A and B are shown apart, each in its own frame.
Chain A
Amino acid sequence: KAGVTQTPRYLIKTRGQQVTLSCSPISGHRSVSWYQQTPGQGLQFLFEYFSETQRNKGNFPGRFSGRQFSNSRSEMNVSTLELGDSALYLCASSSLAGQGDIQYFGAGTRLSVL
């Protein structure tokens, strides 16, 4: 079974631009979560989608948004990029089969904002 796939792996953007990152979950997984990882703040939860609905959201500005499609694939968008948005963005999927379920992470998208 294929793991969580994130594309692209690397991105370079300039301030003010917007960016879209993609995440394909493990087949059969219906929940997708996004995390931002930076050296200063560590790993921080952005949001989680389940069955195309945002179920949980972290403490990030509205410039960060996401969506989930009917096939469970998810995208996150960051508008009006700032230098501080440079980070590794990680996606995780979960099957929600019941208690004991876990999140499986992709390799991440490394975003650099110049």
Chain B
Amino acid sequence: AQSVTQPDIHITVSEGASLELRCNYSYGATPYLFWYVQSPGQGLQLLLKYFSGDTLVQGIKGFEAEFKRSQSSFNLRKPSVHWSDAAEYFCAVTIYGGSQGNLIFGKGTKLSVKP
């Protein structure tokens, strides 16, 4: 069965510092991978997705992620964090291309930003 692991429950970084959120997935073939962000009391907003091709994908708000097949990882990065990035981040996987429901989510990483 597919699964997604986000090892870090909570991360605190200083504003302006770089950020890396980890995500590992378990699946035999290449899955479709996503990162979503959720602000308090809100739904999920897609940051970026990986389906195929270039393993380094760019997303919104200055985020990027790198797919590493050998490590079954899809880590999210941002070179300089802003206070408005404080939120919860979810990595997700599906075998259906993302459009047929059944996204499997990690437990999330809550990001706090120090001034």
Q: Which residues of A pack against B, CB within 8 Å?
A: 4, 6, 31, 33, 35, 42-45, 47-48, 50, 55-56, 58, 90, 92, 94-97, 99-108
Q: How many residues of B contact A (CB 8 A)?
A: 24
Q: Which residues of B pack against A, CB within 8 Å?
A: 34, 36, 41-46, 49, 51, 90, 92, 97-108
Cα distance A55–B43 in the bound complex, in angstroms: 23
Chain B residues with CB below 8 A from A107, complex form: 41-43
Chain B residues with CB below 8 A from A45, complex form: 101-104
Cα distance A101–B102 in the bound complex, in angstroms: 14
Chain B residues with CB below 8 A from A94, complex form: 98-101
User: Is the beta-carbon distance between B43 and A31 smaller than 8 angstroms?
Assistant: no
User: Is the beta-carbon distance between A105 and B99 smaller than 8 angstroms?
Assistant: no
Given known contacts A100-B51, A102-B46, A108-B43, is B97 in contact with A31 (CB within 8 Å)?
no
